[in-house]
Structure formats: structure tokens, C-alpha cells
Amino acid sequence: MTITFLNVGYGEAILVECPDAGHPQGTFVMLIDGGSGEAEEFPPELPERAPLIKELERRGLDHIDVMISTHIHEDHVCGLLPVAKGFPPRELWQVHEAALARQLPSLPQMELAHPSRRKFARALEDWRKLSIQTEGRGTKIRKLTAGDCLTPCAGLKVRVLSPSWERAETLAQTMTELFYTREPELFLERLTALDGAMNNYSLVLSLEYRGARALLPGDTNAAGYGEIPRALLTADLFKVGHHGQRDGANPELLAAIRPAAVVCCASSDRRYHSADPELLRMIAASGARLYFSDCPPVPEGIPAPPPHRALQIRLDGTTLQSLYFTREGEIVDEKI
């Protein structure tokens, strides 16, 4: 199995591929999140970054079996909308029932001065469109909550660790109240509150393949793992939550996971204090190897990544190997 972290700047887009003769071209393809939908995220002076749809086309991808939306933030969900049009997935996995998006009206058109509020409002609308449009094209929408365990292809087990069914229902009710709010001040208050809470409603997924595990928690921060049994957190590969901001992990969480490798999806400009130096030093001190989806500056003593389009981690039993894909070719790292 390969897990490829595509360089979408400040955001996440993760491509999981497993050999399986029962799928087109002998490969099962799962896409987790889609990065940003804003052109400003991909300026010409940063040629390694690319919108997800363009990178998938460049790679010659011909199908998506499962698309996953971990949570509703612009840098995770908005890049999925054009991909779903070009590569309609067989299934869309998310925290919500398909009926929720169908029942909601469009968000009210209001002037939002704060850029983060505008981004979040766009993300909510794009999520609603994604759910409605994919279902309309025949995609099966599957609601996931803690305790679900799926085997989408031979040898791959996907276990859902969070959120609980109860918390998913709370989120759906909160979103419904927001979408139906028309009074401007109350709308802004509810929008801001939901934006701040959304990260810890992320799907937390444990992927197991031939004895190797990867923990992919969306934007869950260190406070968001409280309901998960510690035994289920153990993983060889950990994608640190919240883009490596300071709240993405703590020593107790790292001790529970015990990862051999940690991936940080932070932008090269360290926006919102992502790839926090103290956090990176903490991860390095735990003994894990650090890898990056983009090229943020790193503290002394931590190997800096080369400019690259993507980072790929190959998992096969207890063996992990990393590759950075540059514009000129690929750089093969040692076994992890």
C-alpha cells in the first residue's frame, strides 16, 4: 500500500492506493480530503504546489473508488468538488448522512469581513454541493462514526476512531441551525463558533495493511483524542493533526501512538503557525522520523525536505519506505 501526501500548500490531500485485482487497473484508490479550492494557494512562484485536480490528471489517475471528507474546512474539502466532477467516486465517506445536505438550504448571502469566516462559509457550501452532486451521479454516501470498521479492498482495514455517533448528531444539529439562521449577528456568532469547533469533529481513521498501521486524524488536535481507547492509537505512521500547529500533539499522545514516522502537512510559509518548531522538536525527540507534504522551515537538527510535488510512504508489513517526488524525478529515502 502507498499513502501519498500531495503538495497542496496549506491543506491536505492524501491518496491511498492498494493492489487489488478486483478494481480497475488492479488498484484500489482512496482519496482523503482535497486541499484548497482557491487559486491564490497555487502561485506561479511555487511550482511544486498544484490544485488536486491538476495533480491527479498529471498522474494519469483514471478512477476513485472511495473519496473521504474528514471535516468541513476550506483547505480540506473545497478541492474535492472539481475532483468529484472529473472522477466521480463509487463511494463518499463522511460524518454526515446524505439526507442532511439535501435538506439544507443555501447559506444566507452575508458580508463576512474576516477572511477565515469567508473561507468557512465557502467550505460549508462546497460540502453541501459535493454531497448533493455526487449522490446525483450515483455515488453511495456512507456516514462514518466511531466503531465502524470497513474492508474496502483486499488486505486493507479502515477503522473509524472518532467522532462518536452522538457527537456526529450534535454536529448535524448545529449545522442545521446555522444554515437556517437569517439574522446577521446570530449567523456570524454561530458561524464563528462552528468554525472553531470543527477540527475536533474530524474523522480519525486507522488504516491497517499487512500488519502496518497509519493514523490519519484530519485536523484533530491533541485535545480531541479523549474518547479513543489508547490501544487503538498505536500506529507506524502518524499524520499529525492540525497541520503541525502547536496543539497538534503532546508527549502523552505520541507515547500512545509510538510512530516510526510522522508526516506534517504544513505550508512552506508556515501559515497559522503550522509546523510549529517546538512541536517538531517534540516529535523528533520521540524518535520518529519527520516528513512534510510541503517545505516549511524546520529547526536545526531536523532534516529539511527537498522541493517536491508529493511525499509517498510505502507500507508493507513492518517495512516503511519514503519517497519525495520532485519536479525532476524522485528521491528515495532509506527504509524507515
Span 98-113, pLDDT tens digits? 999 999 999 998 889 8
Q: Residue 291: which H helix or E strand, with range?
A: strand 289-292
Helical H runs in the chain? 52-59, 74-77, 80-86, 98-103, 115-136, 165-179, 184-197, 251-257, 277-285
pTM of the full structure: 0.97
Dihedral (C-alpha) 98, 102, 104, 110: value to the nearest 10 degrees? 110
CATH number at residue 274: 3.60.15.10
Asked whether the predicted pLDDT for residue 333 surpasses 80, the reply is no
Find the domain containing 185 and state its range. Answer: 2-335
Which amino acid does the sequence have at 322? Answer: S
Count how many domains the chain has.
Answer: 1
- In this structure, of 20-24, 39-43, 194-198, 266-270, the range with the lowest mean pLDDT score is 20-24
Span 290-309, pLDDT tens digits? 999 999 999 999 999 999 99
Average pLDDT of the chain, as a whole number: 96
Alpha-carbon gap, residue 317 to 23, rounded angstroms: 22
